[in-house]
Amino acid sequence: MKHLLSIDELTEADLREVLRITPSFAEVAQRRIAKVPALRGQTVALLFYEDSTRTRLSFEIAAKRLSADTLNVSVNTSSVNKGESLRDTAETIEAMGIDAVVVRHRSSGVPWQLTKWLDASVINAGDGWHQHPTQALLDCFTLQQKLGDLAGSHIVMVGDIKHSRVARSDISALTMLGAEVTLVAPPTLLPPATDTWPVRTSHDLDSALADADAVYLLRMQNERQNEALVPDLREYTTLYGLTAERAARLSPTVPILHPGPMNRGVEIAADVPDLDQVVVVDQVRNGVAVRMAVLFLLLGSGAGDVPGVSPEPVAAAEGATP
Amino acid sequence: MSALLIRGGTVIDSTGSRNEDIAVVDDMIVPTGAAPSSATVIDASNCVISTGLVDLHAHLGEPGDEAAETMATGGRAAVLGGFTTVLAMSNTMPPVDTAAVVEHIRSLAKAALCRVEIAGCVTVGAAGTHLAPLGELAEAGVAFVTDCGAGVQNPLLMRRALEYAKPFALTIAQPADCVELSVGAEMHEGEWSSRLGLPGAPAEAEEIMVMRDIALARLTGARLHFQTLSTAGSFAIVSAAQRSGLNVSAEIASHHLALSDADLASYNSCRKVEPPLRTRDDVNAACVSISSGALDCIVSDHTPHTTDRKERPFDHAASGSVGLETALAVALSQDIDITSVLRAMSWRPAELLGLGPPSERTISPGVIADLIIIDPHERFSVSTRTQATAGTNSAFEGVELRGRVRTTIVGGRVVVQNGQVTA
């Protein structure tokens, strides 16, 4: 595997391998010196054309825990709007001797286009409405922690599926692992051809929640009101929000996920995020471990060479202060 | 006096197919007995001889976009692709909305190896608010008017244009797209737009405009031509209108005969075109409609761009593909018989452009010698590096096609021989 562009380009075996080795990387975070030398001497560029503090930090911490050097390339959004040449940016990065590029872009497809001009590994950190594969991996890992094997489990995903790269990635990953996925959204916020997807769709949140093993809420953006996709956010919350009443009817064993940042009072009632079954913090924590696993698989010296088995003194020798 | 003798080929024109030698003296086809012994002999064995192709839809760059194409480069591309006449689109800079611009383009077009006809605008500046001086444009020799790009959106203005144009020998041509329904779209709306996370335009955005304008053609009794239709629904609606006796015609871009929305899976921005690549069912319907004659014409929709306009994120990349040098081969590579391809690329567009009915544009003595010789079996791989167009954006880059133009003769002058420009 050279690039991570889309969950759809992974085999089930690839997906399970990432999830299998992720705990070894989670363990690194628990160490006194949370760093292993696996990617020492390698450079990872974080090319973020769209603001995303949490995803960028997560990748940066993941790379640093593997001893890679990181390079933050913040790209002025105004030059993006002018449609600057992607190739120029790619070739500039290539000339600097970068080993991997983590790219976030508001336009679908940019990571694919970059692979045409780059020898470096490309990791998709979110492209347009299209894919966000490491989000799907961390969500699967989090759900497995809570539910065990996901085969046959029923995941209810609620909200703006149409504009969501999280939904597209998670649906592929969850169904690959045997989960059953129900999408709940107003018809205007579903993609036009969900009949070709391996999911069920519903417009009735209460009945979908009745037999849910997990609930995944998506962020609802204010702009959707202006595009006549929903009448207003109040009606959206009434029909599709996880209100306190709906949350109270859920079993406390049903985990509630959200990719963040949450709009309290819109897709999730103000106090619901404080429930114990809301696993947003686990998602963020697992995100670092999953991204370490991905960087290691793409850039590491060899398969099976998981740092969990390498002795801690190597790590300690590197950054320990006496 | 120049003279040519084309030997050993199969002649295909609107009267049928026959094995026949052709003689040309100066700019005219003559009886073979009239060819002097000094005539240059062109061997056409295993090849098809046709009247030159006529393209109702090409963007030739000048004036305003000389970085992407000029009359010289676009004209070379045209004759290499077998087009002896090209209708240059009206959305130049400045747009073709006065006779003065028509005259200016006519002088620029002297640099082209093909004949260049000039399309005018329907509205001033193609802005969709005031009618362009259609009488003045017709007087200047314009036969087609189109607000190429967005088309005429306002139904009242479209009605007025159709009515007002009736006394002139003018065809109102319309790129059918209801822009409010396709706003923000980057591709066809469907399974692939859902998967690729790109905003889509539904087929209905095109079909609603086709239905509206057919209703207006019925109301006004005016002549109407649809540009680059792309959906099976549109083909069926136009076909029904033609059967009901309306004077309506339609063209399809060659790329819509071959590529579908699934071919965007790797976000190849050179395959971003307007209207967008549709589904495989639409592609199949297009081929069937050309074979049956339900669709009138195949056009190149040649839209050259500089490299930087395509090497951008898909949603910021310019739309359009070059097509003059591939349109014929794309059509011949599909499951369409060659006679239907030639009808859709030569006789029928010539008739629509007012160059004369097919009965007067046969390959016979007394007819102007705009001729091409095609090897329908030769295979080649498309590369814009080796093409004559200055545009670098081919939807077929790297694709192998079948059918190559060996010789192009414009007005008795050999401008392409052995697939190379000789003029």
Query: Cα–Cα distance between A214 and A257 in angstroms, integer?
Result: 8
Token pair recorded at residue B271: 């395959």
Could you tell me if B304 and B393 are in contact, meaning their C-beta atoms sit under 8 angstroms apart? yes
Of the pLDDT bands very low, low, confident and very high (cuts 50, 70, 90), residue A50 is confident
Query: Cα–Cα distance between B190 and B180 in angstroms, integer?
Result: 18
Could you tell me if A79 and A135 are in contact, meaning their C-beta atoms sit under 8 angstroms apart? no
pLDDT tens digit sequence for A165-219: 999 999 999 999 999 999 999 999 999 999 999 999 999 999 999 999 999 999 9
Note the pLDDT of residue A224.
80
CB contact under 8 A, A192 and B189: yes
Is the model's pLDDT at B313 over the cut of 60? yes
Chain A residue with CA closest to B201: the answer is A192
Q: Is A258 annotated in the active site? A: no
| pLDDT, mean over chain B | 97
Shortest CA gap A100–chain B (Å): 20
Is the model's pLDDT at A307 over the cut of 60? no
Mark out chain B residues that contact chain A at CB-CB < 8 A. 189-191, 193-200, 202, 266-267, 269, 308, 311-317
Is the model's pLDDT at A312 over the cut of 90? no
Chain B residue with CA closest to A163: the answer is B197
Query: Cα–Cα distance between B254 and B323 in angstroms, integer?
Result: 8
> DSSP per residue over A113-135, as a string?
HHHHH-SSEEEEEEETTTB-HHH
| pLDDT, mean over chain A | 90
Q: Is B301 annotated in the active site? A: yes
User: Chain B partners of A193 at a C-beta cutoff of 8 Å?
Assistant: 190-191, 193-195
Averaged over A225-236, what is the pLDDT? Answer: 90
Token pair recorded at residue A284: 């963020």
Note the pLDDT of residue A51.
82
Assigned CATH class of A7-132+284-319: alpha beta
Domains A7-132+284-319 and A133-282 fall in the same CATH topology: yes
CB contact under 8 A, A109 and B202: no
Could you tell me if B43 and B7 are in contact, meaning their C-beta atoms sit under 8 angstroms apart? yes
Within 8 A by CB and 6+ apart from A69, the residues are: A41, A42, A43, A44, A63
What element of type H or E holds A313? helix A312-319
Shortest CA gap A194–chain B (Å): 7
**What domains lie within chain B, and their CATH numbers?**
52-360 (3.20.20.140)
* Alpha-helical runs (H) found in A105-262: 110-117, 133-147, 165-176, 205-210, 223-226, 233-240, 244-249
Percent of chain A with pLDDT over 90: 80
Report how far apart, in Å, the C-alpha atoms of B334 and of each of B257, B268, B300, B340, B375 are.
7, 22, 15, 11, 15
Catalytic residue among A55, A134, A142, A237: A55
pLDDT tens digit sequence for A117-148: 999 999 999 999 999 999 999 999 999 999 99
User: Chain A partners of B308 at a C-beta cutoff of 8 Å?
Assistant: 85
Percent of chain B with pLDDT over 70: 100
Could you tell me if B158 and B174 are in contact, meaning their C-beta atoms sit under 8 angstroms apart? yes
pLDDT tens digit sequence for B125-183: 999 999 999 999 999 999 999 999 899 999 999 999 999 999 998 999 999 999 999 99
CB contact under 8 A, A108 and B269: no
Averaged over A298-315, what is the pLDDT? Answer: 56
Burial class (CB in 10 A: 0-12, 13-18, 19+), B250: buried
User: Chain A partners of B311 at a C-beta cutoff of 8 Å?
Assistant: 85-87, 113
Nearest-CB residue to B198 (from A83, A108, A196): A108
Is the model's pLDDT at A282 over the cut of 90? yes
Nearest-CB residue to A83 (from B195, B197, B312): B312
Q: Among 3.90.1640.10, 3.40.50.1370, 3.30.70.100, 3.40.630.30, name the CATH number for the domain at A133-282.
A: 3.40.50.1370
Of the pLDDT bands very low, low, confident and very high (cuts 50, 70, 90), residue A223 is confident
Domain boundaries, chain A: 7-132+284-319, 133-282
Cα angle, residue B164 at apex, residues B158 and B167 outer, rounded to 5°: 140
Q: Which of B182, B192, B195 to mutate to test the interface with A (most CBs of A within 10 A)?
A: B195
Query: Cα–Cα distance between B218 and B204 in angstroms, integer?
Result: 21
Burial class (CB in 10 A: 0-12, 13-18, 19+), B237: buried
Shortest CA gap B231–chain A (Å): 17
